[in-house]
Amino acid sequence: MTESRNLNFSNQDLRNRSFKGLDLSGANFSGSDIRGCNFTGAILTGANFQGARMGESRRRVRTLIARAGVTAVTVTMAGALMGLIRGADAGAAAVAAVAATAIAATRADAGIVAGAVAGAAAAIGSSGIITFFGGDTIRGIVLVLVSGVMLGLTAIGFFIAVEEIEKLSVTSFRKADVTDAIFEEDAMLNADFSDARGCDW
Protein backbone atom coordinates (compact mmCIF):
# COMPACT_ATOMS: atom_id res chain seq x y z
CA MET A 1 0.00 0.00 0.00
CA THR A 2 2.78 2.41 0.92
CA GLU A 3 4.74 1.78 -2.27
CA SER A 4 1.73 1.93 -4.62
CA ARG A 5 0.70 5.31 -3.22
CA ASN A 6 4.29 6.50 -3.08
CA LEU A 7 4.18 7.08 0.68
CA ASN A 8 7.69 5.93 1.47
CA PHE A 9 9.31 8.90 3.20
CA SER A 10 11.85 6.84 5.15
CA ASN A 11 15.30 8.24 5.92
CA GLN A 12 14.62 11.65 4.37
CA ASP A 13 15.14 15.23 5.50
CA LEU A 14 11.55 16.52 5.65
CA ARG A 15 12.09 19.40 8.08
CA ASN A 16 9.39 22.10 8.15
CA ARG A 17 7.24 20.45 5.45
CA SER A 18 3.47 20.58 5.64
CA PHE A 19 1.38 17.41 5.40
CA LYS A 20 -1.67 19.18 6.76
CA GLY A 21 -4.94 17.36 6.10
CA LEU A 22 -3.39 14.70 3.82
CA ASP A 23 -4.31 11.02 3.78
CA LEU A 24 -1.03 9.34 4.69
CA SER A 25 -2.44 6.01 5.87
CA GLY A 26 0.33 3.43 6.08
CA ALA A 27 3.05 5.93 5.19
CA ASN A 28 6.61 5.13 6.18
CA PHE A 29 8.46 7.98 7.93
CA SER A 30 10.94 5.71 9.72
CA GLY A 31 14.35 7.27 10.26
CA SER A 32 13.29 10.61 8.78
CA ASP A 33 13.90 14.08 10.17
CA ILE A 34 10.38 15.50 10.61
CA ARG A 35 11.26 18.35 12.96
CA GLY A 36 8.93 21.26 12.40
CA CYS A 37 6.58 19.25 10.16
CA ASN A 38 2.87 20.00 10.25
CA PHE A 39 0.62 16.91 10.27
CA THR A 40 -2.41 18.82 11.57
CA GLY A 41 -5.62 17.00 10.65
CA ALA A 42 -3.76 14.37 8.60
CA ILE A 43 -4.86 10.73 8.42
CA LEU A 44 -1.90 8.72 9.67
CA THR A 45 -3.51 5.37 10.48
CA GLY A 46 -0.89 2.65 10.56
CA ALA A 47 1.93 5.05 9.66
CA ASN A 48 5.45 4.17 10.78
CA PHE A 49 7.45 6.83 12.65
CA GLN A 50 10.08 4.55 14.20
CA GLY A 51 13.41 6.33 14.54
CA ALA A 52 12.00 9.62 13.23
CA ARG A 53 13.31 12.87 14.71
CA MET A 54 10.33 14.87 15.93
CA GLY A 55 11.79 18.08 17.22
CA GLU A 56 14.30 19.10 19.78
CA SER A 57 13.79 20.56 23.20
CA ARG A 58 13.46 24.31 23.57
CA ARG A 59 16.50 23.98 25.79
CA ARG A 60 18.47 24.70 22.61
CA VAL A 61 17.16 28.27 22.65
CA ARG A 62 18.15 28.73 26.28
CA THR A 63 21.56 27.19 25.56
CA LEU A 64 22.05 29.53 22.60
CA ILE A 65 21.23 32.57 24.75
CA ALA A 66 23.50 31.39 27.57
CA ARG A 67 26.43 30.77 25.22
CA ALA A 68 25.99 34.14 23.56
CA GLY A 69 25.83 35.92 26.92
CA VAL A 70 28.87 34.21 28.42
CA THR A 71 30.92 34.77 25.27
CA ALA A 72 29.91 38.44 25.03
CA VAL A 73 30.92 39.06 28.65
CA THR A 74 34.20 37.16 28.25
CA VAL A 75 35.20 39.00 25.07
CA THR A 76 34.25 42.39 26.53
CA MET A 77 36.10 41.74 29.80
CA ALA A 78 39.21 40.52 27.98
CA GLY A 79 39.25 43.68 25.87
CA ALA A 80 38.62 45.97 28.84
CA LEU A 81 41.26 44.31 31.03
CA MET A 82 43.97 44.36 28.38
CA GLY A 83 42.97 47.90 27.43
CA LEU A 84 43.50 49.08 31.01
CA ILE A 85 46.80 47.24 31.40
CA ARG A 86 48.44 47.72 28.00
CA GLY A 87 46.39 50.32 26.13
CA ALA A 88 43.71 50.43 23.44
CA ASP A 89 45.66 48.47 20.82
CA ALA A 90 46.30 45.58 23.22
CA GLY A 91 42.62 45.64 24.20
CA ALA A 92 41.56 45.38 20.57
CA ALA A 93 44.01 42.51 20.03
CA ALA A 94 42.64 40.70 23.09
CA VAL A 95 39.06 41.08 21.82
CA ALA A 96 40.02 39.68 18.42
CA ALA A 97 42.02 36.81 19.92
CA VAL A 98 39.37 35.71 22.42
CA ALA A 99 36.55 36.02 19.86
CA ALA A 100 38.46 34.11 17.18
CA THR A 101 39.45 31.36 19.62
CA ALA A 102 35.87 30.91 20.85
CA ILE A 103 34.48 30.78 17.31
CA ALA A 104 37.14 28.34 16.09
CA ALA A 105 36.86 26.07 19.14
CA THR A 106 33.10 25.68 18.69
CA ARG A 107 33.14 25.46 14.88
CA ALA A 108 31.22 28.71 14.52
CA ASP A 109 28.36 27.82 16.87
CA ALA A 110 25.61 30.43 16.35
CA GLY A 111 25.52 31.46 20.02
CA ILE A 112 29.28 31.82 20.24
CA VAL A 113 29.49 33.86 17.03
CA ALA A 114 26.70 36.17 18.21
CA GLY A 115 28.32 36.56 21.62
CA ALA A 116 31.78 37.15 20.19
CA VAL A 117 30.58 39.85 17.80
CA ALA A 118 28.43 41.46 20.52
CA GLY A 119 31.39 41.46 22.90
CA ALA A 120 33.64 42.99 20.26
CA ALA A 121 30.98 45.59 19.49
CA ALA A 122 30.67 46.47 23.17
CA ALA A 123 34.44 46.84 23.49
CA ILE A 124 34.61 49.02 20.36
CA GLY A 125 31.68 51.13 21.57
CA SER A 126 33.30 51.64 24.97
CA SER A 127 36.55 52.62 23.31
CA GLY A 128 34.62 55.04 21.11
CA ILE A 129 33.01 56.73 24.10
CA ILE A 130 36.35 57.05 25.89
CA THR A 131 37.98 58.38 22.71
CA PHE A 132 35.13 60.87 22.20
CA PHE A 133 35.43 62.31 25.70
CA GLY A 134 39.21 62.21 25.41
CA GLY A 135 39.05 64.87 22.72
CA ASP A 136 39.18 62.85 19.48
CA THR A 137 35.55 63.54 18.55
CA ILE A 138 35.47 62.20 14.99
CA ARG A 139 37.25 58.94 15.79
CA GLY A 140 35.02 58.45 18.83
CA ILE A 141 31.85 58.91 16.77
CA VAL A 142 33.12 56.50 14.08
CA LEU A 143 33.88 53.82 16.68
CA VAL A 144 30.44 54.20 18.28
CA LEU A 145 28.74 53.97 14.87
CA VAL A 146 30.74 50.86 13.96
CA SER A 147 29.77 49.36 17.30
CA GLY A 148 26.09 50.10 16.65
CA VAL A 149 26.18 48.48 13.21
CA MET A 150 27.90 45.39 14.63
CA LEU A 151 25.34 45.09 17.43
CA GLY A 152 22.50 45.47 14.93
CA LEU A 153 23.86 42.74 12.66
CA THR A 154 24.48 40.52 15.67
CA ALA A 155 20.90 40.95 16.85
CA ILE A 156 19.54 40.07 13.40
CA GLY A 157 21.71 36.95 13.15
CA PHE A 158 20.85 35.90 16.68
CA PHE A 159 17.09 36.21 16.15
CA ILE A 160 17.33 34.28 12.87
CA ALA A 161 19.12 31.47 14.73
CA VAL A 162 16.48 31.47 17.49
CA GLU A 163 13.67 31.44 14.92
CA GLU A 164 15.23 28.46 13.14
CA ILE A 165 15.52 26.54 16.41
CA GLU A 166 11.92 27.37 17.29
CA LYS A 167 10.74 26.06 13.91
CA LEU A 168 12.50 22.78 14.56
CA SER A 169 11.31 22.47 18.14
CA VAL A 170 7.88 20.90 17.66
CA THR A 171 6.27 18.51 15.20
CA SER A 172 2.50 19.00 15.10
CA PHE A 173 0.02 16.11 15.02
CA ARG A 174 -2.88 18.28 16.21
CA LYS A 175 -6.27 16.76 15.33
CA ALA A 176 -4.54 14.05 13.25
CA ASP A 177 -5.76 10.44 13.17
CA VAL A 178 -2.82 8.40 14.50
CA THR A 179 -4.72 5.16 15.08
CA ASP A 180 -2.28 2.21 15.01
CA ALA A 181 0.60 4.51 14.02
CA ILE A 182 4.01 3.43 15.34
CA PHE A 183 5.95 5.96 17.41
CA GLU A 184 8.97 5.76 19.68
CA GLU A 185 8.21 7.02 23.16
CA ASP A 186 11.23 9.33 23.51
CA ALA A 187 10.59 11.07 20.19
CA MET A 188 6.98 11.80 21.13
CA LEU A 189 8.10 14.15 23.91
CA ASN A 190 8.79 16.89 21.36
CA ALA A 191 5.58 16.49 19.37
CA ASP A 192 2.16 18.09 19.78
CA PHE A 193 -0.65 15.51 19.83
CA SER A 194 -3.38 17.92 20.97
CA ASP A 195 -6.84 16.58 20.02
CA ALA A 196 -5.28 13.77 17.96
CA ARG A 197 -7.45 10.67 17.44
CA GLY A 198 -6.19 7.20 18.24
CA CYS A 199 -3.82 8.32 21.01
CA ASP A 200 -3.73 5.99 23.99
CA TRP A 201 -0.92 7.79 25.77
Give the residue from 69, 57, 67, 68 showing the smallest Cα distance to 165. 57
Check: CB of residue 39 under 8 Å from CB of residue 173: yes
Helices and strands counted in the chain (H then E): 4, 2
Same-domain pairing of 125 and 31:
no
Same-domain pairing of 94 and 64:
yes
Same-domain pairing of 68 and 48:
no
First to last CA, the chain: 27
Cα-to-chain-centroid distance, residue 184: 25
pLDDT digit string, tens, across residues 66-111: 777 777 777 777 777 766 677 666 767 777 777 777 777 767 676 7
- Count: domains in the chain: 2
Residues of the domain holding 34:
1-56+170-201
Q: What is the DSSP letter of 191?
A: E
pLDDT digit string, tens, across residues 138-178: 988 988 888 888 778 778 877 777 776 666 668 899 999 99
Backbone phi and psi for residue 197, each to the nearest 5 degrees, phi listed first: -95, 145
